[in-house]
Amino acid sequence: MAPFHQTDALAQRLAVPPSQRWSETAGGAALAQRAAPRGSASLVYDTRTGGKAGLQSRPLVIGPAVRTSGVRVTQAPPATPGVTQTSLSEALAFGPDAWDALRARSTPPSPFMSWAWHRAWANSAPPAEVDATRVLLLHGSDSSLQAMLPLRMCRFRFHRVWVRALNWAIGEIGCPDQLDVLARPEADMRSFAAAIEAMPWEVIILDNLVEAAPNAERLCAALAARGHAIRRSPLWSCPRLELPRSWDAYLTTLSSNRRQILRRKERSLFRDHAATLVDYGEDRLDEGWDHLLRLHEQRWDGAGGGAFRDPRNERLQRQFAGEMAKQKRLWLTTLDLDGQPAAAWYGFTSDDTVYFYQSGRAWRWKRESVGLVLMGLMIQRAIQQGYRTFDFLRGDDRYKHHWTPARRKTSETVIFRSGWRRLWLRALDAVSALRQGVPRDA
């Protein structure tokens, strides 16, 4: 099978800590920015060597797999007590209810572990990547689904050494955050660990884990009990706003200067222009999506093209937005001035949380701070509708600090398979961390 360049940035993080990354907007670079914060148009470089810290990866296909590209979903596998292995297509055939019932038991339940996100990923991924995915299912003695773990098998360079690896099936495309193993609290992770041990791998990378990640921690403990080594390290900062009961109460948490700017900008827009918010649901999704892409491209014109310059990422997001629209969970809104969209905002809801994903604005309205005003209006809407949390997702962008000082930290866990080769790989990992000053929790 021909090699392909995987830009999910797994090896980038193993080689370069987030604090040592820098922006590079020169054309012709081979890396995509999808592992960078969503608002960033930067490429990721190895600042120690000057070389690109990319990940060259080959799919590793084991056993039969059913292609799910093109919205092909087959029949769900039978519920057999114990651990079974199936294709992603068959796992998707369980439908959103089965996936989300497990997701709801996570803390907090990440929308990126949902059926909708995995289906959107499968429909936008190259066939070789989809075929390399396997899903471990754990059914109880009563045939109830207790745990699910979608993984992708591949070969990649781990500190310049080719290794066989297991990673989340969805990888880094679209920057999924706050992940955890889908499982009920009573699920027997020892059975999962035994099934994983039977698969061909030398390292397992569970990245973008939510803080604490209770199910992943239980799985790691079960693997450690079988002699495998565990390494943890911090990853992304995710600003997060705990919403008060009213907009006025929130404004009191801002500095007086910030409050004055926000009120003045909003007041000026609605006084000097015919300003309206336009929401785009399932019936107008294509129209709203076109506005988002155009305004996002204008925002990042001359700075790398923004998050949607990768066609695959745009396809994934469009498919996911469509599913969110069907479930009435899509927040796709434009701020129109004098009848024309001046700024766009894209996010979605999950349980009691509003997730902000991307935005855009027209350059001609930069002085009016249309992006600032629209963000404030969306936070105000979240408060009015009773949501408890407003999540800015990954990235320590300066504008996020203006809205909230609170943040959560995602992490990465690497599991090294027991054996002599583990000692070598761990030594390589430790030397790399020592050179770059990356904190590690062994």
Q: What is the pLDDT of residue 11?
A: 39
In 259-373 the beta strands, taken as DSSP E runs, fall at: 275-279, 330-337, 340-350, 353-361
Give the span between the Cα atoms of 389 and 354, in whole angstroms: 6
The two tokens of residue 376 are 């404030």
Strand-pair category, 182-183 with 203-209: unpaired
CB-based contacts of 93, cutoff 8 Å, min separation 6: 73, 74, 75, 76, 77
Best CA proximity match to 397, nearest among 236, 225, 188, 230: 236
Averaged over successive runs of 10 residues, the pLDDT of the chain (442 residues) comes to 34 35 27 41 26 34 39 69 94 94 84 96 93 95 94 87 94 94 94 95 95 94 96 93 97 94 96 97 97 92 74 95 97 97 97 96 94 97 97 91 93 93 82 71 62
Best CA proximity match to 391, nearest among 351, 359, 353, 348: 353
Q: Are 181 and 219 in contact (CB under 8 A)?
A: yes
Domains and CATH numbers, the chain: 58-237+410-436 (3.40.630.30), 244-387 (3.40.630.30)
Give the global pTM.
Answer: 0.83
Q: What is the pLDDT of residue 337?
A: 97
Q: Radius of gyration (Cα) for the chain, nearest Å? A: 22
Q: What is the pLDDT of residue 29?
A: 28
Q: What is the pLDDT of residue 304?
A: 58
Best CA proximity match to 392, nearest among 383, 400, 381, 402: 400
Q: Are 394 and 237 in contact (CB under 8 A)?
A: yes
Q: What is the pLDDT of residue 6?
A: 38
